[in-house]
Amino acid sequence: MNVPHYWYNINVDLPKPLPPPIDPYEGDSRIALLMRIMPSELLDQEFTALRYVPIPEEVRELYARMGRPTPLREAVGLERALGNGVRIYYKFEGALPTGSHKLNTAIPQVYYAIRDGAKEVVTETGAGQWGLAVSLAAALLGVKATIFMTRNSYMNKKQRVLFMRVYGADVYPSPSEVTKYGIEALRSRPDHPGSLGLAITEAIEFTLMGEGRKYIPGSVLGFVVLHQTVIGQEVLQQLPEEPDLVVGCVGGGSNFSGFSFPMMGMKLRGEGFEKTRFLAVESTAAPKLTKGRYTYDFPDTGGLLPMIKMLTLGHDYVPPPTHAAGLRYHGAAPSLSLLIKEGYVETRAYEQEEVLRAARLFARTEGIIPAPESAHAIKAVIDEARRMPKGSVIVFNLSGHGLLDPDAYEHEVV
């Protein structure tokens, strides 16, 4: 099997159109700002009319060098432990060098930034999976990376911070003392744990502070979802049977969407997967899918980006610290939000403790210690498998391993 030649754009197959991004009525145009901060090709991909977007050969080559296609495995050990004859498959994105799916979009985003003449890429990160992926992509492609990492994660996930620096990145805790927004946040709350929304704002401000910088986001926006569909495109080739249930966890929505949208697209076009249910799983720490409003909101706390219509808890939402820090974002990708609103994707929220118990069962039966974020999907898979009839088939995205999340396991499981 080869690395796919195309990413899949679900926007052109959605049951309803995505409402366009809009500017608020006060201040400068945020849509116009996008041109200054983001690589141009990414903006084109955000608004493309194509269903299939070609993956540049250089990107395909790097995908292959980094280990794509990733394996799709049957979770035989977990199946035996559950013992009710439900077959469970998982796509193992943790097999990539930085341990998560994030490299799938970090590589093309850095590639496009360089094509626009960037010497430095700037971004935010929650748990650090995205920051680590950007650090590696920047190292591979030969540019500098600067990462704003939510302060709570920065303090607790020291290995990821260390490895970002090994790859050559500069890493700041957010709120930081290098941007206006960061300084203001620290002044108002010295123990501020940080939020992804605030880290985005800091990354954008930092991008605008210097020459030759491009800002690249880790989730939510359409082109990020687009790049992640390399996962689902592979799954279409790898799955030996049509599943009854497709499961993934949701922070901003890129892993769930990238994994499931090629299957969902076939369902929407009437080309298969008619019986398949889709289940998006989130953390109760940021329950936008189950408790959020479908409305226009800013993707970032400071309101520097255009408003997008999505399921959201509000851009100033500050979630409680949890070990699944990657799931603490206030909103969800517009395409995923629309599919949830229209009833094509089911949702569920889990507490941290029950999720980590599921993670332990998976580790002991499959050998892989899952990332706390991915363990939300595992918890849902276990719950669903126990209810489904013998012979049912589940496939889920194991979006990352947890070998860089010892803090989660140290406090909750051991």
Contacts with other proteins by CB under 8 A lie at: 9, 11-23, 25, 28-29, 31-32, 34-35, 40-41, 43-44, 47-51, 222, 306
Minimum distance from residue 59 beta carbon to other proteins (Å): 18
Minimum distance from residue 195 beta carbon to other proteins (Å): 26
Exposed e or buried b per residue across 46-66, where buried means at least 16 C-beta atoms within 10 angstroms of its C-beta: bebeeeebebeeebbebbeeb
The span from the CA of 387 to the CA of 373, in Å, is 23
Minimum distance from residue 116 beta carbon to other proteins (Å): 9
Would you call 282 exposed, middle or buried from its count of C-beta atoms within 10 A (0-12, 13-18, 19+)?
Answer: buried
DSSP, collapsed to helix, strand or coil, labels residue 122 as strand
Q: How far is CA 59 from CA 145, 227, 385, 394, in A?
A: 18, 11, 37, 30
Distant-in-sequence contacts of 43-51, Cβ < 8 A, 24+ apart: 43/223, 45/9, 45/222, 45/223, 45/226, 46/221, 46/222, 46/223, 48/9, 49/12, 50/9, 50/12, 51/8, 51/9, 51/12, 51/13
| Phi/psi of residue 285, nearest 5 degrees | -70, -25
Which residue, 43 or 155, is less far from other proteins as judged by CB? 43
Minimum distance from residue 377 beta carbon to other proteins (Å): 28
Which residue, 52 or 407, is less far from other proteins as judged by CB? 52
Minimum distance from residue 305 beta carbon to other proteins (Å): 12
Which residue, 243 or 306, is less far from other proteins as judged by CB? 306
CA proximity to 100, closest of 148, 134, 75, 54: 134
DSSP code of 13? G
Which residue, 22 or 76, is less far from other proteins as judged by CB? 22
Q: Token pair for residue 267?
A: 């369902």
The span from the CA of 406 to the CA of 159, in Å, is 9
Which residue, 1 or 49, is less far from other proteins as judged by CB? 49
Minimum distance from residue 266 beta carbon to other proteins (Å): 14
Which residue, 29 or 84, is less far from other proteins as judged by CB? 29
Which residue, 146 or 228, is less far from other proteins as judged by CB? 228
Q: Token pair for residue 104?
A: 């799938």
Would you call 190 exposed, middle or buried from its count of C-beta atoms within 10 A (0-12, 13-18, 19+)?
Answer: exposed
Which residue, 268 or 361, is less far from other proteins as judged by CB? 268
Minimum distance from residue 44 beta carbon to other proteins (Å): 5
Minimum distance from residue 307 beta carbon to other proteins (Å): 9
DSSP code of 125? E
Minimum distance from residue 145 beta carbon to other proteins (Å): 23
Cα 22 to the chain's mean position, in Å? 23
Q: Token pair for residue 147?
A: 């990462």
Which residue, 109 or 399, is less far from other proteins as judged by CB? 109
DSSP code of 241? S
The span from the CA of 120 to the CA of 139, in Å, is 11
Minimum distance from residue 40 beta carbon to other proteins (Å): 3
Which residue, 299 or 306, is less far from other proteins as judged by CB? 306
The span from the CA of 325 to the CA of 314, in Å, is 18
Per 3-state DSSP, what percentage of the chain is helix, strand, and coil (rounded to 5)? 45, 20, 35
Which residue, 52 or 208, is less far from other proteins as judged by CB? 52
Minimum distance from residue 63 beta carbon to other proteins (Å): 23
